[in-house]
Structure 1
């Protein structure tokens, strides 16, 4: 397209030059006494006519290709879009097949992971992973933390600090709290493990 446009512009410039030369020759002050004036005039007119024909031809070719390209643009866009969708579909199908083949392995590895979050996890599966007791880790730790605070006013009713409860949940999920730990050592008040225990039981 660029070459066709350049050809048209060159033809246009040649026509303008031929037209200028013809007009200058026609308006010469010595045209009446100039030898072979008529013959030279016809030559310039022929040159201008040829340039005009060349310009018209270049314009028609350029216009034809432009219209052709415009008419094909929709088809090209549709093909490219279809190709994009096809490749996307192929990619995600490949990913799906890969994940499907790996799911049993992933599930097995997750099931065998001792640090699977306790909250929201199947109670029987969680307890089966504990070697020394059948009590769920969050229940055991929360009860141990509450052993000396059963007379606390509003226990299991007063809401604790939301941030501290989230922290205790995270620690219980990671099973990082020792059985001998105390509320003072962990910097919790009794309402934190009490509310956390309620949350754990709700999520079973």
Structure 2
């Protein structure tokens, strides 16, 4: 075979292969609401949500902030193939800790549904390890707060997660609609629930924001 033709064909196949690899690896998340997100080091992780067809989602993906990127083509990375939430999640909240250099993301509250839209509630908290890319349901001591959604969480410097208020309704198995104004505290070091003070607590509410 002519050397020039061989080189041309070689370059052609390399270009085609590069195109195919780019197409496989590229990912753009669909629009959604009611998802959860949290920053861990230089990645923003996103969990679940509700799509434009009112389907609850179990997707997990992140935005890589370790290097500059074009706003038109953010560096999204999809983890759903191996690390999807064990259920469809929406209207939950997330908080992360890094005890002993072991980052853990906690997904708290919200809807927990299977592929047939059936409630699959097991625990108010599920844990995701970004290093191992695995989920687990920690065994937690103390009295678990009543199920709730439309909440936010903050974590302090010693690994305690604070969740204020929220709402329960028939989507969470409650026969009545109820708002809360309590503070549920989850200690990630000893895996224990406790209650915060209720004296002079703000009015009952959901769909708020919280910042530490």
Q: TM-score, normalised by structure 2?
A: 0.22
Query: Going by fraction, where is helix more abundant, 1 or 2?
Result: 1
Q: TM-score, normalised by structure 1?
A: 0.22
Higher relative contact order (CA 8 A, sep 6+): 1
